[in-house]
Amino acid sequence: MEQFPEVVVCRLGHRPGRDDRMTTHVGLTARALGADRVIFPDNATDAVETAEDITDRFGGPFFAELVEKPAAVVRNWEGPIAHLTMYGEPVQTVESEIRSTVTEGDDPLLVVVGAEKVPFEMYEQADWNVAVTNQPHSEIAGLAVFLDRLFDGDELDREWVDASRRVVPKETGKLVLPVSEE
Amino acid sequence: MEQFPEVVVCRLGHRPGRDDRMTTHVGLTARALGADRVIFPDNATDAVETAEDITDRFGGPFFAELVEKPAAVVRNWEGPIAHLTMYGEPVQTVESEIRSTVTEGDDPLLVVVGAEKVPFEMYEQADWNVAVTNQPHSEIAGLAVFLDRLFDGDELDREWVDASRRVVPKETGKLVLPVSEE
């Protein structure tokens, strides 16, 4: 997002087959709702391909990458870290502190999205453990609400660069237009 | 949600195996983010069982049900209908109109969440076709942002009834306490 330090989403853990669509949706949600980059475990090849394909067609900038050990990315991160977990502090009580910490600094924010088993170190390494409700639901839903609140809705007005097509909002039906190259 | 007409989420279509976790997460997101009820296609038995299990443990009220034809529920719905689709009007431009229409009436709101192929009638039957960005991402993320905005964040402070356990928000780590019966 413009006028905001870089926001990077890191997905911990991925079980090929079982998690394919969940991990892919984490990546697409990160892109659509204003994150700059997503980091997947290196066995999530489908997810990175889908994120790249959607970025090619619908625009960016957005980057998806595979890393061998997402936990090491978290451990070595030099900026602030928000870890999304149902056990954390309510998003509505910490969102303004996170937003002001990030916007008053230059360091990129890492948003950690858990998988089945999150090691205890993750809770300690995070600057904020953030809960979008303390109820069990979906890491995709949690990420979506977190990003929408982090950017205060500005991500919904984002403009996309280098798209080959764009969806034109309509009251009824579907309209997709090619984006002509200038 | 208290002081709000009933909000019902209807998931269109379900492919057992392939969609199991997505449909389950639609149901859990509906529950956690303030909807009163979710309607699944009748082959989504796993999703209804998970929603009921979570409601038994973490509280309600929340109801999950299977119907033979979700499209018929939409066709016969007597209250307002919001259909979530990437082709629709931006959520930020229609959210206040939807909220005031729903809160000024008594009729329940139906929130329709699509599956792979959404019949054209759905776009026509909806009072609003609503896009959480016009980008491809996730129906779970779209539902989450839509509900958070519909309830203006009040759903995050909801209290749960008849839970056997509750998560206590913590800066670090996990704390789940049993809820004693009075």
Give tens-digit pLDDT for B61-99.
999 999 999 999 999 999 999 999 999 999 999 999 999
In this structure, are residues A106 and A5 in contact, taking their beta carbons and an 8 Å threshold? yes
| Unique residue bearing structure tokens 């900038």 | A61
Distances in Å between the alpha carbon of A42 and those of A17, A49, A55, A66, A92?
14, 12, 19, 5, 33
Q: For residues A182 and A27, what is the distance between their CA atoms, to the nearest angstrom? A: 29
Q: Is A136 on the interface with B (CB under 8 A)?
A: yes
- For B25, the closest of A18, A123, A140 (CB atoms) is A140
Place A181 in a pLDDT band, splitting at 50, 70 and 90: low
Give tens-digit pLDDT for B16-60.
999 999 999 999 999 999 999 999 999 999 999 999 999 999 999
Q: Per residue in B42-57, is it b (16+ CB within 10 Å) or e — as a string?
A: eebebbbebbbebbee
Q: For residues A7 and A12, what is the distance between their CA atoms, to the nearest angstrom? A: 16
Mutation target vs B (from A95, A148, A175, A176; most B CBs, 10 A cutoff): A148
- For B32, the closest of A29, A137, A171 (CB atoms) is A137
Mutation target vs B (from A57, A133, A175; most B CBs, 10 A cutoff): A133
pLDDT at B104: 95
- List own/partner pairs for A51-58 with CB under 8 A and 24 or more apart: A51/A24, A51/A27, A54/A28, A54/B135, A54/B136, A55/A31, A56/A164, A57/A163, A57/A164, A57/A165, A58/A160, A58/A163, A58/A164, A58/A165, A58/A166, A58/B135, A58/B136
Q: Does domain B7-178 have CATH number 3.40.1280.10?
A: yes
pLDDT at B21: 94
Strands B165-167 vs B176-178: parallel, antiparallel or unpaired: antiparallel
pLDDT at A69: 95
Query: Three-state SS across chain B?
Result: CCCCCCEEEEECCCCCCCCHHHHHHHHHHHHHCCCCEEEEECCCHHHHHHHHHHHHHHCECCEEEEECCHHHHHHCCCCCEEEEEEEEEEHHHHHHHHHHHHHHCCCCEEEEECCCCCCHHHHHHCCEEEECCCCCCCHHHHHHHHHHHHCCCHHHHCCCECCCEEECCCCCCCCEEECCCC
Is the pLDDT assigned to residue B182 strictly greater than 80? no
pLDDT at A161: 96
Comparing CA positions, the residue from B41, B28, B17, B57 lying closest to residue B179 is B57
Is the pLDDT assigned to residue A83 strictly greater than 80? yes
Instruction: Decide which of B181 and A119 is more confident.
Output: A119
Q: For residues B111 and B39, what is the distance between their CA atoms, to the nearest angstrom? A: 10
Is the pLDDT assigned to residue A68 strictly greater than 70? yes
pLDDT at B32: 98
- For A156, the closest of B91, B143, B170 (CB atoms) is B91
pLDDT at B157: 96
Q: Is B87 on the interface with A (CB under 8 A)?
A: yes
Q: Flag whether the ipTM exceeds 0.95.
A: yes
In this structure, are residues A115 and A142 in contact, taking their beta carbons and an 8 Å threshold? no
For chain B, the average pLDDT equals 95
Question: A145 and B140 in contact by Cβ < 8 A?
Answer: no
Comparing CA positions, the residue from B112, B97, B149 lying closest to residue A155 is B149
What is the DSSP-derived secondary structure letter of residue A181? P
Closest-CA residue of chain B to A132: B156
**Amino acid present at B95:** E
Give tens-digit pLDDT for B111-145.
999 887 899 999 999 999 999 999 999 999 999 99
Give tens-digit pLDDT for A117-174.
899 999 999 999 999 999 999 999 999 999 999 999 999 999 999 999 999 999 999 9
Q: Is B114 on the interface with A (CB under 8 A)?
A: no
- For B21, the closest of A21, A54, A153 (CB atoms) is A21
Q: Which helix (H) or strand (E) element contains residue A40? A: strand A37-41
The answer to whether the annotation marks B118 as part of a ligand binding site is yes
Hey, is A106 helix, strand or coil?
coil
pLDDT at A1: 73
In this structure, are residues A74 and A110 in contact, taking their beta carbons and an 8 Å threshold? yes
In this structure, are residues B148 and A100 in contact, taking their beta carbons and an 8 Å threshold? no
Our CA-based measurement puts residue B30 at a distance from the nearest CA of chain A, in whole angstroms, of: 9
Q: How far apart are the first and last CA of chain A?
A: 23
pLDDT at A3: 80
For chain A, the average pLDDT equals 95
**Amino acid present at B167:** V
Question: B123 and A25 in contact by Cβ < 8 A?
Answer: no
Comparing CA positions, the residue from A73, A74, A66 lying closest to residue A46 is A66
Hey, is A75 helix, strand or coil?
helix
pLDDT at B181: 56
In this structure, are residues B5 and B108 in contact, taking their beta carbons and an 8 Å threshold? yes
The answer to whether the annotation marks B115 as part of a ligand binding site is yes
